[in-house]
């Protein structure tokens, strides 16, 4: 009997371990993409994940401080209507704390082979100088899918750029549009749109970066609809809902009937995320009022800028704003009167340190305009993984000399200095993390 007992217990233990391992593996296999950190505030943080089928999902999180308790989000059941996406809210966090978290699917931990972390912003107002910060920016993510792509060489590549972004360890990533590339096969159906989001979001190189950096986003034509699409796109309701399902922004459209615009504060920087597609008139239209933002969103933007107390005000929109050449989908081409009105407003109101963050163009550059002593900038960062081209021959009288970059790249913005002497350093890196360019801007008080 003793001999039998000796052999039975290890066998039972091994079987139990195998069963547990298979259960854990099964839950990991139910994870399609993510987890991703969305917006992060002092008292709450958003997490996002996508499963392969309907499943119960929640997250556990705990501060990295000694003896911190393990906390838990509400459980969400994913479903096909929302693309099996889950939005989870960590609503028991405190300011200035680093947290680790784990995702659970159907009650079992979905283990990841890399850390999963987020940090809440510090409560610095009325206490200290603004914190030093590092924020990443980029646009134009094309992930090849041969059977649905146009014939010929794949348009996307060098996906290792997401590994470089992860290694850069920014606190926040701002996605500036064309975050996916809807194809002809996708435009006409919800099935196609949600497939494209799922396909792009699932690439392995992106996962560690999603899991350890806060992410906010706006869109441009390729995630809104067809190339150069405007407010007439028939399935904008589908792509709008898909955007909300696949991103975890702090809010949308300030209660408006449509649109994805919102604002987000991070340290002493404010990010105004504009919707440059839902209200846009056709680029080819020659008569009537031409607009990109629409009247309501434009007024909201002007009020937001006028009331902002942030040191740096970043206006995020897919297409170039400052570039004065009326080509491609620049603001100067589609809605020149609107562009002039906004620039004049910034100058007359004396709003300092306004920087437009833009993408779309498949090259990067910095533009600068000065009106009545007020400088404003446009930091264009493009592309991440879609095709790049050297466009230094393209005209732009406002381009800062030497800033044009014609390879796949990403941007980093570094904030430093005391409250009364803040400095912003703009940097561009190639897909391997090699520095290509830098420029410093001192905040004007």
Picking from 96, 119, 142, the residue at the C-terminal end of a domain is: 119
pLDDT the model gives residue 23: 43
Structure tokens at 177: 């549009």
Nearby residues of 110 by Cβ (< 8 Å), 6 or more positions away: 24, 27, 28, 30, 31, 102, 103, 104
- Rounded average pLDDT over 19-48: 81
Respond yes or no on whether the N-terminal peptide bond of residue 383 is cis (omega within 30° of 0).
yes
Total of domains in the chain? 2
Which residue has tokens 């089928």? 53
Q: Are both 102 and 219 inside the same structural domain?
A: no
- Residues paired with residue 316 on neighbouring β-strands, in sequence order: 273, 357
Number of residues in the chain: 445
pLDDT the model gives residue 256: 62
Give the domain CATH number at 284: 3.60.21.70
Q: In what order do the strands lie in the sheet with 214-218?
A: 85-90, 45-51, 31-40, 214-218, 172-176, 133-138, 409-416, 423-430, 435-442
Q: Does position 2 have pLDDT exceeding 90, yes or no? A: no
CB atoms within 10 A of CB 326: 12
Picking from 64, 97, 119, the residue at the C-terminal end of a domain is: 119
* Of 268, 271, 273, 326, residue with least CA distance to 297: 273
In a domain, 1, yes or no: no
Contact present, 321 and 138 (Cβ < 8 Å): no
Nearby residues of 224 by Cβ (< 8 Å), 6 or more positions away: 233, 236, 239, 277, 278
In a domain, 40, yes or no: yes
Give the DSSP letter of residue 364: B
Give the domain CATH number at 49: 2.60.40.380
pLDDT the model gives residue 82: 98
Contact present, 335 and 292 (Cβ < 8 Å): yes
Domain of 43 in residue numbering reads as 27-119
In a domain, 18, yes or no: no
Q: Are both 324 and 418 inside the same structural domain?
A: yes
In a domain, 217, yes or no: yes
Strands 45-51 and 85-90: antiparallel
Would residue 353 be called left, alpha or beta, if left means φ above 0 and alpha means ψ between -120 and 50 degrees?
left
Q: Are both 137 and 111 inside the same structural domain?
A: no
**What is the chain's Cα-based Rg?**
23
pLDDT the model gives residue 27: 59
DSSP output for 304-363:
HHHH---SEEEEE-SS-SS-----TT-HHHH-HHHHHHHHHHHHHHT--SEEEEE--SSS
In a domain, 7, yes or no: no
| pLDDT tens sequence across 240-254 | 999 999 999 999 876
> How many DSSP H helices and E strands does the chain contain?
9, 21
User: How far out from the chain centre does Cα 160 lie?
Assistant: 17
Give the DSSP letter of residue 385: S
| pLDDT tens sequence across 144-181 | 999 999 999 999 999 999 999 999 999 999 999 999 99
| pLDDT tens sequence across 49-79 | 999 999 999 999 999 999 999 999 999 999 9
Q: Are both 302 and 402 inside the same structural domain?
A: yes
Q: How many angstroms separate the Cα of 19 from the Cα of each of 27, 28, 251, 384?
A: 12, 14, 42, 42
Q: How many angstroms separate the Cα of 93 from the Cα of each of 37, 74, 133, 172, 401?
A: 14, 14, 20, 18, 45
Indicate the pLDDT class of residue 372, thresholds 50, 70 and 90.
very high
Q: Could you give the CA distance from residue 317 to residue 177 in angstroms, rounded to a whole number?
A: 7
In a domain, 124, yes or no: no
Q: Are both 49 and 196 inside the same structural domain?
A: no
In a domain, 17, yes or no: no
What kind and span of H or E run contains 212? helix 207-212
Q: Are both 318 and 352 inside the same structural domain?
A: yes
Q: Are both 402 and 433 inside the same structural domain?
A: yes
Structure tokens at 37: 């950190």
Share of the chain above pLDDT 90, in %: 88
**pTM across the whole model:** 0.94
Picking from 119, 142, 175, the residue at the C-terminal end of a domain is: 119
* Of 177, 230, 130, residue with least CA distance to 356: 177
Q: Could you give the CA distance from residue 123 to residue 202 in angstroms, rounded to a whole number?
A: 35
Structure tokens at 401: 């000399």
Average pLDDT, the chain: 93
Q: Are both 49 and 164 inside the same structural domain?
A: no
Indicate the pLDDT class of residue 11, thresholds 50, 70 and 90.
very low
* Of 211, 26, 27, 204, residue with least CA distance to 101: 211
Q: Could you give the CA distance from residue 251 to residue 261 in angstroms, rounded to a whole number?
A: 8
| pLDDT tens sequence across 282-310 | 988 888 889 999 999 999 999 999 999 99
Q: Are both 247 and 394 inside the same structural domain?
A: yes
Q: Is the dihedral of CA 181, 185, 189, 195 positive or negative?
A: negative
Q: Are both 426 and 293 inside the same structural domain?
A: yes
Which residue has tokens 């283990």? 111
Q: Are both 114 and 141 inside the same structural domain?
A: no
Q: Are both 147 and 68 inside the same structural domain?
A: no
């Amino acid at each position: 009997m003793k001999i039998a007992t000796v052999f039975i217990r290890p066998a039972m233990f091994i079987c139990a371990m195998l069963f547990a391992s298979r259960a854990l593996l099964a839950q990991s296999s139910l994870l399609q993409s993510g987890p991703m950190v969305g917006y992060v505030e002092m008292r709450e943080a958003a997490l996002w994940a996508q499963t392969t089928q309907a499943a119960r999902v929640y997250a556990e999180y705990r501060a990295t401080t000694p003896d911190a308790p393990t906390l838990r989000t509400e459980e969400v059941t994913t479903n096909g209507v929302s693309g099996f996406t889950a939005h989870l809210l960590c609503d028991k966090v405190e300011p200035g704390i680093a947290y680790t978290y784990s995702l659970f699917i159907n009650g079992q931990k979905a283990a990841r082979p890399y850390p999963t972390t987020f940090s809440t912003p510090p409560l610095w107002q009325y206490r200290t100088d603004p914190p030093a910060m590092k924020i990443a920016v980029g646009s134009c993510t094309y992930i090849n899918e041969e059977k649905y792509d146009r014939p010929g060489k794949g348009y996307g590549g060098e996906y290792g750029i997401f590994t470089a972004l992860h290694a850069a360890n920014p606190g926040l990533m701002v996605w500036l549009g064309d975050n996916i590339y809807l194809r002809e096969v996708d435009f006409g159906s919800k099935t196609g749109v949600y497939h494209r989001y799922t396909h792009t979001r699932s690439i392995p190189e992106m996962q560690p970066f999603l899991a350890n950096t806060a992410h906010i986003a706006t869109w441009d034509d390729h995630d809104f609809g067809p190339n150069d699409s405007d407010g007439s796109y028939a399935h904008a309701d589908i792509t709008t809902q898909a955007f909300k399902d696949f991103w975890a922004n702090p809010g949308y459209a300030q209660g408006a009937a449509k649109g994805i615009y919102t604002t987000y504060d991070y340290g002493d920087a404010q990010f105004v995320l504009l919707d440059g597609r839902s209200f846009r008139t056709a680029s080819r239209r020659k008569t009537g009022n031409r607009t990109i933002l629409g009247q309501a969103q434009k007024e909201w933007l002007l009020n937001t800028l006028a009331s902002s107390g942030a040191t740096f005000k970043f206006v995020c929109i897919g297409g170039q704003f400052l570039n004065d050449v009326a080509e491609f989908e620049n603001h100067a081409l589609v809605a020149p009167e609107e562009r002039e009105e906004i620039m004049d407003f910034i100058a007359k109101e004396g709003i300092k340190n306004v920087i437009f963050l833009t993408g779309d163009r498949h090259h990067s550059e910095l533009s600068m305009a000065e009106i009545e002593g007020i400088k404003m900038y446009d930091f264009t960062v493009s592309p991440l993984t879609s095709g790049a081209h050297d466009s230094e021959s393209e005209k732009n009288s406002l381009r800062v000399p030497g800033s044009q970059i014609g390879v796949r790249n990403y941007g980093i913005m570094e904030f430093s200095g005391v409250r009364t002497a803040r400095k912003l350093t703009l940097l561009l890196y190639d897909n391997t993390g090699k520095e290509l360019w830098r420029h410093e801007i001192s905040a004007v008080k």
